[in-house]
């Protein structure tokens, strides 16, 4: 798959998700699964941002508007969603593994941080870019 | 005032657990990188202090300020961590339920909120609590400004 095709697919998925969010009711936003979905939505925005070297705050603004969600609410919900997702993936760990995971600052939630050189998202995207160039 | 309502939520308070959590909070050295369990515990402490304040008809804000100080957290950080902890705790609670049970939970919550809105006495208490909270936020903002000016 070409890089541009991947970006098109991600953007299509973002628009579809935005449409779904724009239809849900207020009480559904109070559900953990919804905030996890919003975190995944913001993760896709972050990936598109890194792939296109876009402006993260502006992209959040744009897609929040499409989803009919206040930008600050989207960022807050996505942050809660990331914490919940990390808790889900660690809550059945042995005590030592759990402590090791949470004791490592690199594993802390970072969805709100724009991709910058040498961070995890940036490196993953660079790896993808290298794969596309091969 | 609806005493039955107060009695029903008073069941959720455990003075012993509050004391235990206060002892625990001072043992957490690194609030820069808390675990999800840390956040669940701190939010549990906040919830119980808030409920106790409501049941005793006394403002909980000073006790919460003390707890934030014991943890070495700013009020903003404390409130943020408690909020995240509440979400995690809620998700843990739902993890053992199927979709229908979760739907029932939210239907029950909406019903309870409707009942609260229809009960003038309880609504007055909540309105009063909200007004106190707004006043407190203004006070905190003033204090923060003073600190930052220094």
For residue A98, the chain B residues in CB contact (below 8 A) are 35, 37
Interchain contact A99–B (C-beta under 8 A): yes
Could you tell me the sign of the dihedral formed by the alpha carbons of B66, B71, B74, B75, in that order? negative
C-alpha radius of gyration, chain B, whole number: 17
Number of domains composing chain A: 1
Pick among A24, A84, A87 to test the B interface (most B CBs inside 10 A)? A87
- How far apart, in Å, are the Cα atoms of B39 and each of A132, B36, B63? 41, 5, 18
Q: Which two tokens stand for residue A14?
A: 């973002």
Length of chain A: 134
Q: Which two tokens stand for residue B127?
A: 């309105």
The pTM of this model reads: 0.81
Interchain contact A31–B (C-beta under 8 A): yes
The ipTM of this complex is: 0.85
C-alpha radius of gyration, chain A, whole number: 16
Predicted confidence band at B30 (pLDDT cuts at 50, 70, 90)? Answer: confident
Domain that residue A74 falls in: 3-133
Decide: A115 and A125 in contact? Cβ < 8 Å: yes
Decide: helix, strand or coil at residue A112. Answer: coil
Domain ranges within chain B, ordered by starting residue: 3-149
**Each residue of A39-87: pLDDT tens digit?**
999 999 999 998 888 899 999 999 999 999 999 999 999 999 999 999 9
Q: Which helix (H) or strand (E) holds B95?
A: helix B75-95
**Each residue of B54-72: pLDDT tens digit?**
888 777 888 888 899 999 9
């Amino acid at each position: 798959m070409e890089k541009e095709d991947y970006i098109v697919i991600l953007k299509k998925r973002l628009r579809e998700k935005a449409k779904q969010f724009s239809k849900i009711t207020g009480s559904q936003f109070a559900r953990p699964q919804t905030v996890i979905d919003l975190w995944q939505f913001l993760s896709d925005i972050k990936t598109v941002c890194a792939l296109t070297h876009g402006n993260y705050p502006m992209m959040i603004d744009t897609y929040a508007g499409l989803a009919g969600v206040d930008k600050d609410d989207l960022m807050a919900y996505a942050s809660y969603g990331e914490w919940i997702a990390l808790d889900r993936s660690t809550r059945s760990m042995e005590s030592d593994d759990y402590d090791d995971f949470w004791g490592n600052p690199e594993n802390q939630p970072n969805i709100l941080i724009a991709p910058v050189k040498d961070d995890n998202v940036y490196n993953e995207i660079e790896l993808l870019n290298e794969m596309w160039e091969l | 005032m609806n005493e039955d309502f107060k009695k029903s939520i008073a069941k959720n308070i455990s003075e012993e657990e509050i004391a235990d959590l206060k002892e625990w909070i001072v043992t957490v050295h690194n609030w820069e990188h808390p675990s999800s369990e840390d956040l669940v515990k701190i939010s549990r402490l906040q919830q119980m202090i808030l409920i106790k304040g409501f049941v005793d008809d006394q403002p909980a804000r000073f006790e919460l300020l003390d707890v934030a100080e014991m943890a070495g957290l700013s009020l903003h950080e404390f409130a943020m961590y408690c909020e995240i902890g509440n979400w995690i705790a809620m998700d843990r609670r739902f993890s053992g339920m199927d979709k229908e049970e979760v739907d029932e939970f939210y239907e029950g919550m909406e019903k309870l909120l409707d009942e609260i809105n229809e009960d003038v006495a309880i609504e007055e208490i909540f309105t009063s609590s909200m007004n106190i909270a707004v006043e407190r936020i203004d006070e905190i903002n003033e204090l923060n400004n003073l600190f930052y000016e220094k």
